[in-house]
Structure 1
Amino acid sequence: MKIRGLALAVMACCLFAGQECAAQARGCDYRLITHGADNAFWRVVSKGARDAALSLGCTVQISMFNGDLKAQQQAFIKAVAERPDGIALSLPNDELFDKAVTAAQAAGVPVIAVNNDDSRGEAGNSRLCYIGQDDEHAAYSLGLKLIEMAQRKNFDIFSAKTVLFSELPGSNFNNKRIAGMARALSEFGMQAPHVVDLSRSGEYSSAMSSYMDAGSAGLIVVAIGGAVAEYLGDAVKSSGRKPETLVAGAFDVGPRTIAAIRAGYIAATVDQQQYLQGFYSVYTLWLYGKYGLAADVDTGRNVINNSDELRRIEELSAENVR
């Protein structure tokens, strides 16, 4: 249901007429239930949801499960039984939530996907819409930028290796980002990426650094999750590789990732503007309850690598907006 322009226009109208919207929405109760954790990334999502709820005069209860998908599923089922006005749910797994979401919709509880969607979208899960990054396209865009940077360093791109560091193998966002990077590499006739599972690693930095030998051949490395990305700069720094033989990319705009870009250890990252994921989730549930409107929203695929963009992100990160 890609009526993004209409939905965003209605949201904008609500923001300019906040008192009227709050009066109309008073008493509504929403839930945000995700696989995330209490970290810098998810605190921004949470602030977006709380800000939207505040502007509408309603409440939002936020639950994070630190990758424990079974606990997340059980919390979702329990929340449905409490009959809130709507639930925003991350879908990191293609099968675990299907029946529960269908049952929720049948019980009259609207459900939208946030941050992570079913890999087949609405064909795979009956959620009303998806609010989050188009992970495949975002990874493709990042891949093209990193290849361009590698060419500027005079890499022999046909012999260059690409290593992807994964924090949550098998998850939907992980698989889509791998596919997007592979698509970019394939278009240039480059080798398929090598994927490294870091889910059992106790120390991300040293684990990643061990894959960056000091050889002279060109190497592209990408942290395809925000948690791993926060340690990529340290890994590059300790690897001993010469800067002209390595290009590093990341996802998300965590504080350590931004610092590593400024220091020159990471070349670029993708900003998914996660504040919008929390904010639009609450507003979309309100719009659906009032008007029956629900729209897919791609919250961001912008590749960040210049000082002006970094400065604005740094200014807002203290407010948990970026």
Structure 2
Amino acid sequence: MSEMEDKGIIGPVSRRGLLKGALVGGATLVGGGLLSACGSTTSVAASGGGLDYPAHPKWHFVFVNHVTTNPFFVPTQYGIQDACKLVGCTYSWTGSETSQVSEMVNAIETAIASHADGIATSIIAPEAFNGPIQQAIAAGIPVVAYNATVSPNPAMSYIGQDLYVAGQQMGQKILSLVPPGSHIGLFIATPGSANIQPRIDGAIAAIKAAGNPITYDVVATGALVSQELSAVQSWYLGHKSAKGMFAVDAGSTQSVGQVMQQFNLPAQGWHAGGFDLLPLTLKLINTGYLDFTIDQQPYEQGFYPVMQLYLYKLSGGLMSPDDTETGLKFITKKNVGLYLKTESRFEGSTAKELDLANI
């Protein structure tokens, strides 16, 4: 028994309690003992200092994604890796490179056939995912949604941003930057996809709610970053009298910033912004070519699904997954410095694990 326990200051603490706290108030624990555990070796029995969980099978969780090679999901995969290391589980990363729903559905069905212990999937289309998710749950496989969802669906929880509200916030930000009477471009990688369409819907709703003081074009850019840059360049060359470009996905946001830099558009009174924290996007904010980007904590969108699936399995179904909002934060030139000077798995800027001893 520790001195603090002997004095009655604290009682024995279980890792179950720590991790439950991480799910309820994750940010608090991220700064403390939870992350220090990420740097240690975790056995299936999760041994260590009186914080042990019972020994358990090395459960395998399947993550189904709509753009498996997109750089936005690098920190998501780091979050998955760190959570799996913490609790002694494994994972696989599968789905589609280009938001093909049929490929994602096939991946879920394959996970069911291979008897996965849990499934986390982005849900980017209405109805198409319902049958496979119901099939998985009927087979005793818990399923959670992350990053994108369409309601209603049978997934047990959703871990991600409120996409429509985020779009509304972006729309209001646009109106604060662009003069009335201006024309802008709104860029979206894959129109109709549930991970980004609600954002552009929210932005348009905010513009309409303000009385339509500006006009806009909605421009599809494509699922691959190379396609997105070409699409943004083409739109600009045909709309040189416009005053802004704004995007609702990571690749399009980076591309908007690149075009703003290529043609030095801030000097011509243009404004631009979008979503997510690709390293180049952050640099373009710092140099003044982008006004803002919106963070949605992609690391959490990998970490928390693992923890929810794990606790569900460990408790025999007593601890049900819960919806988890991963937030909305504007990154501007005023606060981008922290992101640029700190290389972190949390933002995907390094693969190196956090060493708390040297902070």
TM category, shorter: 0.7 to 0.9
Paired residue secondary structure (2:196): helix
Among 197, 220, 242, the residue aligned to 2:220: 197
Among 85, 92, 110, the residue aligned to 1:78: 110
Deviation at 1:90, TM superposition (A): 0.9
CA distance 1:178–1:97, shift in 2 (3 Å): same
Deviation per CA, 1:250-297: give whole Å up to 9, x if none.
111101111111121110001111000000010011122223221111
More contact order relative to length (CA 8 Å, sep ≥ 6): 1
* Counterpart check, 1:166 vs 2:185: no
- Retained in 1: the 8 A contact 2:282–2:339? no
User: What stretches of structure 2 of length at least 5 have no aligned partner?
Assistant: 1-19, 38-45, 354-359
CA distance 1:6–1:257, shift in 2 (3 Å): closer
Q: How does 1:170-319 map to 2 (within 5 A)?
A: 170-190=192-212, 191=214, 193-199=216-222, 203-212=227-236, 219-239=243-263, 241=265, 243=267, 245-289=269-313, 290=315, 291-312=318-339, 315=342, 316=344, 317-319=348-350
Q: Compare 45-54 and 191-200 and name the one that shifted more.
A: 191-200
CA distance in 2, matches of 1:197, 1:9: 37
Q: Compare 286-295 and 126-135 and name the one that shifted more.
A: 286-295
Q: How does 1:140-151 map to 2 (within 5 A)?
A: 140-150=168-178
Match of 2:5 in 1: none
CA distance in 1, matches of 2:121, 2:144: 6
- Retained in 2: the 8 A contact 1:252–1:272? yes
- Retained in 2: the 8 A contact 1:208–1:235? yes
CA distance in 2, matches of 1:21, 1:92: 38
Aligned-pair identity in percent equals 27
Deviation at 1:57, TM superposition (A): 1.1
User: What stretches of structure 1 of length at least 5 have no aligned partner?
Assistant: none
Match of 2:159 in 1: 131
Q: Which amino acid aligns with 2:141?
A: V
Count residues with an aligned counterpart.
309
CA distance 1:45–1:65, shift in 2 (3 Å): same
Match of 2:75 in 1: 44
Match of 2:34 in 1: 15
CA distance in 2, matches of 1:303, 1:198: 23
CA distance 1:314–1:8, shift in 2 (3 Å): farther
TM-score under structure 2 length normalisation: 0.77
- Retained in 2: the 8 A contact 1:35–1:90? yes
Paired residue secondary structure (2:273): strand
- Retained in 2: the 8 A contact 1:218–1:245? no
CA distance in 2, matches of 1:215, 1:64: 36
CA distance 1:6–1:228, shift in 2 (3 Å): closer
CA distance in 2, matches of 1:43, 1:242: 30
Q: Which amino acid aligns with 1:262?
A: N
CA distance in 1, matches of 2:240, 2:110: 55
Q: Compare 107-116 and 302-311 and name the one that shifted more.
A: 302-311
TM-score under structure 1 length normalisation: 0.85
CA distance 1:40–1:22, shift in 2 (3 Å): farther
CA distance in 2, matches of 1:139, 1:21: 43
- Retained in 1: the 8 A contact 2:279–2:349? no
- The alignment yields a C-alpha RMSD, in angstroms, of 2.9
Among 84, 109, 118, the residue aligned to 2:141: 109
